Structure 1
Amino acid sequence: MAAKQRADGRGARKSGTPGAFSRWMQQKMNARMNRKVRRGRGTFMGMDVLILNTVGRRSGRPRETPVAWFADSEDARLVVASGGGSRHPDWYVNLMAHPDQASIELPGRDPAPVTPHLLEGADRERAWQRIAAAQPRIAKYQSKSDREYPVIRLSSR
Structure 2
Amino acid sequence: MPLRYVDPHKKRGRIYEANVRFGRSRPGQSLARHLAPRVDPWLHRATAGRMNMGLVINAPLKTTGAKSGQPRVVQLTYFHDGRDPILMASNYGGAKHPQWYYNLKAHAECEFGGESFVATEVTDADEYRRLYALAEHVYAGYRDYRAKTAPVGRQIPLFRLNPR
TM-score interval, normalised by the smaller of the two chains = 0.7 to 0.9
CA deviations 1:6-50 (Å, max 9, x no partner) are: xxxxxxxxxxxxxxxxxxx96x85353112122323444321101
Aligned to 2:70: 61
State the partner residue of 1:16.
none
1:77 maps to which residue? 85
Query: CA–CA distance in 2 between the matches of 1:118 and 1:33?
Result: 25
Q: When you count helix as a share of all residues, which structure comes out higher?
A: 2
1:46-104 CA distance string (max 9 Å, x none):
21101000011111110110001012112x1111101232101001111111112x111
Structure 1 alignment gaps of length 5 or more: 1-24, 106-110
Q: Which has the larger radius of gyration?
A: 1
1:124 partnered with 2:123 = no
Q: Does 1:112 align with 2:121?
A: no
1:91 aligns with 2:100: yes
Does the residue aligned with 2:145 lie in a helix, a strand or coil? Answer: helix
Structure with the larger strand share: 1
Aligned-pair RMSD on alpha carbons?
1.9
TM-score computed with the length of structure 2 as normaliser: 0.69
Q: Name the counterpart of 1:14.
A: none
2: CA distance between counterparts of 1:53 and 1:122? Answer: 29
Q: So what's the TM-score if we normalise by structure 1?
A: 0.72
How many residues are matched? 125
The structure, 1 or 2, with the larger RCO (C-alpha pairs under 8 Å, 6+ apart) is 2
